Amino acid sequence: MTINASGWRPEVGAAVAESAGTYTGNRALMLEEALIFEIGDSKTTGVDIAAPPAVKSRLAGLERHRPIGIPGLSEPETVRHYTRLSRQNYAIDLGLFPLGSCTMKHNPRLNEKVARMKGFADIHPLAPRETVQGALAVIHELAHWLVTLTGMKAVAMSPKAGAHGELCGILAIRAALEARGDARSTILVPESAHGTNPATAAFAGYAVESIPATSEGRVDLAALSARLGPDVAGVMITNPNTCGLFERDMKALSAAVHAAGAFVYCDGANFNAIVGRVRPGDLGIDAMHINLHKTFSTPHGGGGPGSGPVVLSEALAPFAPLPYVERQGDTFLLIEEETVDERQGKSFGRMTAFHGQMGMYTRALAYILSHGADGLRQVAEDAVLNANYVLRSLDDVLDAPFGHTGPCMHEALFSDGGLAEGFTTLDIAKALIDEGYHPMTMYFPLVVHGAMLIEPTETESKAALDQFIGALRSVAMRAKQGDPLLKSAPHYAPRRRLDETLAARKPVLVWKEPEEAVAAE
Amino acid sequence: MRYLPLTPEDRQAMLATIGAASIDDLFVDVPAEARLSGPIANLPGHASEMAVERHFSALARQNMAAGHHPFFLGCGAYKHHIPASVDHLIQRGEFLTAYTPYQPEIAQGTLQMLFEFQTQVARLYGCDVANASMYDGSTACWEAITMAARVTKRTKAILSSGLHPHYVSLAKTMAKFTGDQLMTSAPELSAETDSVQLLAAIDADTSCVVVQYPDILGRIEDLSAIAAKAHEQGALLVAVVTEPVALGTIRSPGEMGADIVVGEGQSIGVGLQFGGPYVGLFACKEKFVRQMPGRLCGETVDAEGKRGFVLTLSTREQHIRREKATSNICTNAGLCALAFSIHMTLLGERGLRDLAALNHAHAVKAAERLEKVPGVSLVNESFFNEFTLKLPKEARPVVRALADRKVLGGVSLGRLYPGNPVLEKGLVVAVTEVVTPEDIEAFAIALEEVLA
């Protein structure tokens, strides 16, 4: 198998050309792009590196003999490769990204500018604390906002993503229970919870039991209360929950859990629906992570990084992980050791090598200061208003399983009820791609058949919502009428429906030289 | 409130469509006693772009940026030059503001990049397969230990004394809850590593041996004997690499028999950022792929037969297997993985080898100079771009005194191993391509003054 000078494997190129009707496989501005392994080679480099001074090597005789196999591209080729790839991505900068529970809102570029200031981007985590006072001040200031907005006692800043924050909260609960000599074995998790919740509880050494939802889409308080007992360490709730609803009985639920000697963990993925209007601390919550990328708009970059600070109640605060920042007069201290103050020995330890996601803290704080207390309250209001507007504008064409029970919070939930025989949520999602939208979250929460969870967020205008509503209405009508074209959508994306079964059955996770790949079969 | 596009008139019209009299009607499910009536006290109101920028500029000026001063800090985070096009490309909105590629037809850019990233990492580490990144090196290290326990169905892990102490603390934190047994100790200020003790400790109960390469003091050793002994006892060898540039010049852990290789990718394309976000790298032998944590991208075809990429093998993951998942991780460090991959593409094999050679040469030069400072001795016989000096007194105040002289002169082992009277005289010095001969001289002179 040969690769020609432009990087195309001729037989692949030919197959593409036939279907697309062009020699290259490109369709005007929709450009195909080969892999770096097909267009680069071991001799090309895009950097100029000075010749090293002559020295006697001290590598213990372990010099590399074999080639590494990493191809290089010149700088212009590199810029073009990644620019071409970028054009095959949908992003919030291109339009509405209504992924329920993911909260894709506008990412202000001021936040990027701030995070890139040399004084934040170019400082080392182990630099002497006297040389990083401004950075410690940022952590302290962000912590103050998070604690105040949530009405909690303390915040653990270091968790590196939402799921890592869940782990932090559950470990704090476990440490608090063990400190009072109360070993418990089980965490209760509602069936509508994110998959991370049961996985986290299991990772922290707990057995996991599911709590059902009511027909109204909320946690069944009676079932939960009945299950509480001396073996239950905690309950993991999401509020607002993944059906887009506020858990009305939250205070009663917390009281029941506390009376049973257990703790309440809240998945804070949906904090953006209530920020500035409700303090989780007032609801009796003991620990809650805050996905900074969701509520406070740090960019998620095609899958991360995240950042998941965890706010803690008075009962759990002493067990928070190290390190943490404290103010002493005009100086900020970084507490890294368990033995320095009265909390000695209580912290459950360290969760990550350094101090967490500093680059996300600057961005989140910039977003918070830009909004202020008044603006954050408006964030929650507009997020909820936009979601209810979507819910009410579409509930005549799409089945809204909990639509009759009242308003939703910041996301609107629909099901696949009423579609023509054989048509599914997937068909609606793929048809939305042709309309120029990223689809909503599909098949989650699991408690609703064929779920479609739509979260418009507060950074969408009414005009943008009206256009999206029009597009989804049109697609929903076609799905009810059984339009066969929907079954093969998307028709206009860079790729048609991809074969996910093949990918899982015969996993190809790294590129291999074509000869090598054939030989392996 | 420049990020909120709704006008008061829009809000009224939308409430009318919904059939609500006021916004409060939409919060009716929140119990009255939990509702806040106005903005929270003690928090200021919104600020202009200019005001926010000014606030951060003032705070940034209070920090000593690495690029402005002679700089020698390492121990798991390294100052390297990042080509300008890396930051330019990761700021393209289509990368920066995209989400997890749940809809592969309109996420091929991210997915193809992840496939290329996985291949680059696997080759760098000398492994068959790699995942699409983890949070950072330290959490990847713990994930490797738990993966070894799943594979071997044993729970005793032996951690080398040369493993980064923060990685060890993290593992100890987690092991308290999972019940895994960890054997570990602090390193000695000597040229030899603890491999003799490691070899002796491996037995039929051992799930894995975890060795850092180069280690926390910068020492390099052949891992083949440890791999052989581990395999003989049915255990796995986990290698941890905190400085991936090293692998441009020394043998990969996979080549020496490591079963799982994990590490920190920050050195390539990702800035120091006071500790994060970084990018965890994770690779292993093909036979363990279904036990791997994290996200995987795989090749497939679309309905027209065109090559394309999707997230795959998700039946290992938390959103399918819930409490039986291989890990609770549900994000990756996508944007940092992109930065790593772009920088690696710019380097290529040749650039990476040249960069590694330059790092090593600068480090040798620095070691030769610093060794001559009265009272100072060099601990290492072998090293890549980082080595340990033994000072005549405690290193922590020395580092602070150097900072007063505008030299960021390494990491004191007393900070990493508090309360250890022998190690507190150790100073770990990292020397990369950004360090100039003048920086080395400035450091040596400042050190002479401080120690005088």
The three state secondary structure string of A322-367 is ECEEEEECCEEEEECCCCCCCCCCCCCCECCCCCCCHHHHHHHHHH
> Under a CB-based contact definition with an 8 Å cutoff, are residues A102 and A438 in contact?
no
pLDDT band at A520 (very low <50, low <70, confident <90, very high): low
Contact B318 A112 (CB under 8 A): no
CB A65 within 8 A of CB B126: no
* Residue A453 host element (H or E): strand A452-454
Calculated CA dihedral for residues A12, A17, A23, A29, nearest 10 degrees:
-100
Residues of B in contact with A435 (CB under 8 A): none
The verdict on a CB contact (< 8 Å) between A73 and B310 is no
**Nearest CB to A354; choose among B71, B252, B275:** B275
Nearest to B166 among A350, A430, A507 (CB): A350
- What is d(CA B242, CA B239) in angstroms, rounded to the nearest whole number? 10
**Residue given tokens 């109360």 in the structure block:** A182
User: Measured between CB atoms, which of B31, B104, B312 is closest to A495?
Assistant: B104
B417, amino acid identity:
Y
Give contacts of B23 with chain A, Cβ < 8 Å.
Answer: 381, 384-385
Residue A5: per-residue pLDDT? 41
pLDDT of B40: 87
Task: Look up residue A419 and give its DSSP letter.
Answer: P
Three-state secondary structure call for residue A86: helix
- Burial class from Cβ neighbours inside 10 Å (0-12, 13-18, 19+) for residue B185 reads exposed
Cβ distance A78 to B342 less than 8 Å, yes or no, reads yes
Q: Do A75 and B83 touch (CB under 8 A)?
A: yes
First vs last Cα of chain A: how many Å apart? Answer: 15
Q: Do B4 and A379 touch (CB under 8 A)?
A: yes
pLDDT in tens, chain B (452 residues): 899 999 999 999 999 999 999 999 999 999 998 999 888 888 999 999 999 999 999 999 999 999 999 999 999 999 999 999 999 999 999 999 999 999 999 999 999 999 999 999 999 999 999 999 999 999 999 999 999 999 999 999 999 999 999 999 999 999 999 999 999 999 999 999 999 999 999 999 999 999 999 999 999 999 999 999 999 999 999 999 999 999 999 999 999 999 999 999 999 999 999 999 999 999 999 999 999 999 999 999 999 999 999 999 988 888 888 888 888 898 999 999 999 999 999 999 999 999 999 999 999 999 999 999 999 999 999 999 999 999 999 999 999 999 999 999 999 999 999 989 999 999 999 999 999 999 999 999 999 999 99
Query: What confidence score (pLDDT) does residue A344 get?
Result: 59
pLDDT for residue A2:
41
The pLDDT, as a whole number, for residue A339 is: 55
pLDDT of residue B231: 98
**A426-438 pLDDT tens trace:** 999 999 999 999 9
- The SS3 call for residue A234 is strand
**So what's the pLDDT on residue A340?**
52
What pLDDT is recorded for position A341? Answer: 55
Does an H or E element contain A434, and which? Answer: helix A425-434
Q: Cβ contact (<8 Å) for B247 and A198? A: no
pLDDT in tens, A72-125: 999 999 999 999 999 999 999 999 999 999 999 999 999 999 999 999 999 999
Residue A346: name the closest of A356, A357, A335 by CA.
Answer: A335
The distance of A238 to chain B (nearest Cα, Å) reads 14
Tokens found for residue B202: 């491996």
Of B4, B57, B61, the CB nearest to A459: B4
Judge contact between B432 and B385, C-beta under 8 A.
Answer: yes
Of B222, B199, B150, nearest in space to B382 by CA: B222
Kindly tell me if the per-residue pLDDT of A512 is higher than 70. yes
Q: Do A198 and B312 touch (CB under 8 A)?
A: no
Give pLDDT, residue B314. 87
Identify all chain B residues contacting A91, using CB atoms and an 8 Å cutoff.
Answer: 93-98
The two three-digit tokens of residue B39, written as one number: 């903005």
CB nearest to B108's CB, from A54, A88, A138? A88
Using the beta-carbon criterion (under 8 Å), do A374 and B46 form an inter-chain contact?
yes
Which residues of chain A have a CB within 8 Å of the CB of B306? 15-16, 19, 25, 495-496
Quote ipTM for the complex: 0.97
Report the residue from B56, B122, B333 with minimal CB separation from A304: B333
- Put residue A60 in one of left, alpha, beta given phi > 0 → left and psi -120 to 50 → alpha: left
- Which helix (H) or strand (E) element contains residue A79? helix A75-86
User: Which residue, A175, A180, A241, is CA-closest to A214?
Assistant: A241
The per-residue pLDDT of chain A, averaged, comes to 93
pLDDT band at A514 (very low <50, low <70, confident <90, very high): confident
Q: Do B250 and A59 touch (CB under 8 A)?
A: yes
Contact: A246, B100; criterion CB under 8 Å:
no
> A334: which residues sit within 8 A by CB, 6+ positions away?
A129, A136, A323, A324, A325, A355
For A33-68, the pLDDT digits (tens) are 999 999 999 999 999 999 999 999 999 999 999 999
What distances in angstroms separate CA B414 from CA A39, A355, B138, B147, one per listed residue? Answer: 49, 18, 20, 32
Task: Write out chain B residues lying below 8 Å of A113, CB-based.
Answer: 53
SS3 category, A156 = strand
| Angle, CA B293 vertex, CA A196 and CA A192 arms, to 5° | 15
Hey, are the CB atoms on B18 and A307 less than 8 Å from each other? no
Q: In this predicted model, what pLDDT tens digit does every residue of A196-220 receive, in sequence order?
A: 999 999 989 999 999 998 988 899 9
Q: Residue A521: its pLDDT value, please?
A: 58
Minimum CA–CA partner of B30 in chain A: A248
Whether the predicted pLDDT of A12 surpasses 80: no
d(CA A304, CA A298): 10
CA nearest to A385, candidates B285, B104, B403, B13: B13
Q: Do B348 and A279 touch (CB under 8 A)?
A: no
Nearest CA to B70 out of B319, B333, B409, B394 is that of B409
Chain B contact set for A248 (CB, 8 A) = 29-31
CA distance B83 to B95: 18
In this prediction, residue A7 carries a pLDDT of 46
Chain B residues within an 8 Å CB radius of A121: 271-273
Q: Are A274 and A376 in contact (CB under 8 A)?
A: no
Angle (CA) B364 B367 B369, round 5°? 110
Contact yes or no for A45 and B400 at CB 8 A: no
Q: Are B135 and A352 in contact (CB under 8 A)?
A: yes
What stretches of A163-247 adopt beta strand conformation (E)? 186-190, 207-211, 232-238
What pLDDT was estimated at residue B28?
95
Residue found under tokens 């080595």: B387
Q: Closest approach of chain A CAs to the CA of B191, in angstroms?
A: 11
- Residue A513 is predicted with a pLDDT of 87
Kindly tell me if the per-residue pLDDT of A17 is higher than 70: no
pLDDT at B93: 98
